[in-house]
Amino acid sequence: MSSDMNADEKPGMAIMISGTGSNMEAIISAAKRGSLSVRPVLVVSDNPDARGLKKAKSMGVKTLAVPYERGIPREETESAIIGAIKAERAEWIVLAGFMKLLTPRFVQAFRNRIVNIHPALLPAFPGAHAIRDAIEAKADITGVTVHMVDELMDHGTIIAREEVAILPGDTEETLAARIHAVEHRLYPRTLQQLFHEDF
């Protein structure tokens, strides 16, 4: 906990998304219900058209779109994000379908304060197509991983994992639906444990 936070105040959290934001919605809903003790202070997207941005606004959370422009160094774009997160005094950064790789400078600015969810049992199937890759590899089991973010993609200390069976005839869509259902339950629960050191 930072020194400028009251002991009885909930920690602030920024969520970073690129698309639908169904995990973001599950997390904000859990915070509203009180099962996740955190203040969602900001939702950031690299994609101004992300559906999740509208959803976040409708849930009363401040939003910020920061497009990554071609030819502009990523560090420069990230500076705007870092500035906004610090201005809102977010202690935690939760990646929920954020599709850009963070630079080492960003990771170092919030060391051990950035969390990600990945739709596979890491270290298996890292990358942007984890669900399709697991089906194509004819795996029987895949799942969901929640992990701390370090400088490498889909890498860092694993906090929670849950298996999801791949059924005969599964398509990317049918498997994704079951994986999402697990994510929406596992992510808020794991964040509650992490934010309040309840492991």
Residues with catalytic roles: 118
Question: Could you say whether residue 15 binds ligand GRF (CB under 6 A)?
Answer: no
| DSSP reduced 3-state for 94 | strand
Question: Could you say whether residue 91 binds ligand GRF (CB under 6 A)?
Answer: no
CB of 120 to ligand GRF, least distance (A): 8
Question: Could you say whether residue 183 binds ligand GRF (CB under 6 A)?
Answer: yes
Question: Could you say whether residue 19 binds ligand GRF (CB under 6 A)?
Answer: yes
Q: Pick from 97, 143, 156, 188: which binds ligand GRF (CB under 6 A)? A: 97
Question: Could you say whether residue 29 binds ligand GRF (CB under 6 A)?
Answer: no
Q: Binding to ligand GRF (CB under 6 A): which residues in 104-123?
A: 117-119
Chain centroid, CA 180 distance in Å: 13
Question: Could you say whether residue 22 binds ligand GRF (CB under 6 A)?
Answer: yes
Single out the residue of 7, 5, 23, 4 nearest to residue 15, CA to CA: 23
Token digits for 72? 């502009």
Check residue 14 and report its DSSP letter: E
d(CA 176, CA 174) in angstroms, rounded, equals 5
- At a CB cut-off of 8 Å and minimum separation 6, what does 111 contact? none
Q: Which residue number, 17 or 109, has a Cβ lying nearer to ligand GRF?
A: 17
Q: 161 φ, ψ to 5°?
A: -140, 145
Question: Could you say whether residue 23 binds ligand GRF (CB under 6 A)?
Answer: yes
Q: Give the DSSP H/E element, type plus range, for residue 52.
A: helix 51-58
CB of 162 to ligand GRF, least distance (A): 12
Using CB under 6 A, count the residues that bind ligand GRF. 14
Instruction: Answer for the pair 65, 53: CB distance below 8 angstroms, yes or no.
Output: yes
State which residue has the least CB distance to ligand GRF: 97
Q: Which residue number, 19 or 89, has a Cβ lying nearer to ligand GRF?
A: 19
Instruction: Answer for the pair 93, 114: CB distance below 8 angstroms, yes or no.
Output: yes
Where does this chain bind ligand GRF (CB under 6 A)?
17, 19-24, 52, 96-97, 117-119, 183
